[in-house]
Structure 1
Amino acid sequence: MYTLGMMRPQTPLASLTAWASSTAWSPLAAVASLAALASLTGCPAPAVTYAPSFGSIQTAIFNVSCSTRSCHGSPSFKAGLNLEEGSAYDDLVGVVPETVSARNRGMKLVDPGNPDNSFLVLKLAGPLQPDDGGLMPQRNAALPAQAVAAIREWIKQGALK
């Protein structure tokens, strides 16, 4: 990066220092600056913890990876499934899937106490049968193994709200 009137490269830290000396500091500016500096220095983002509770799963998984406009959020609700906050639990727990192959095997989207009979787990981690459709999420990277493990454990514990 070059600055006006200078032909020497300016490092990100030098840019931040120059900006800081010309700007009145506020708490928000300080936080933003530290966040920018952390990203420039390659500091890793804080690790996400996935708790096996519905509230945690809704916040850390469904809200982030599933309930988008093009998937299981308004207005599309793919496969008739609404994973938005306030609707996801009732649309999942004890509900028979629309997918005929899963329905014919007696599966539920979430079968409390039985993650191996929960179509949600199969859609996230496999193994799927040919007529089950593809793994989810389709447009994003696969969920971390810890996220799927939290969902399995929540279901195993009875899928409580």
Structure 2
Amino acid sequence: MTTQQALVQPAVEVPEHKSGLVFKPYDLQCIHQAHTILSKDPPPKMTNEALALEVGINRNKLHYGFKHVYGQTITHFLEQQRMQKAELLLSTTYKSVKVIAALTGYCNSSRFGSVFKKTFGMSPVQYRKQCRNARALQRACNNATVA
């Protein structure tokens, strides 16, 4: 569907939204595009305003539409994406926590640590240690089975 075709499509009203915002198919397409951008590799420093500009929609429509379509705010979704990336990096690399914090979009490694602990119930260092212990235990079990 071209942009011109999307603009002439009938509007879709979001009944449960108290602001009375109306979302056209083009708006929904932009909201899905924003989700795709955030899902691929979360940008380190992207504001909602910059994301709205990139996908071509008003910031308020993006904010409310994203929450309506995906059931969570952009900020919460982005935090989840960053934590998944952090979890992967901690369990598969030897990069420092400070580097991983930066790679996941946190300027402050202590803020990263507190968000990680809130999400996973342990600090990034404890998580890495737990992953390494689990891998060592699995290797020991595999070696015992082979022998």
TM-score by length of 2: 0.28
Which structure is higher in helix share?
2
TM-score by length of 1: 0.26
Answer 1 or 2: higher relative contact order, Cα 8 Å, separation at least 6: 1
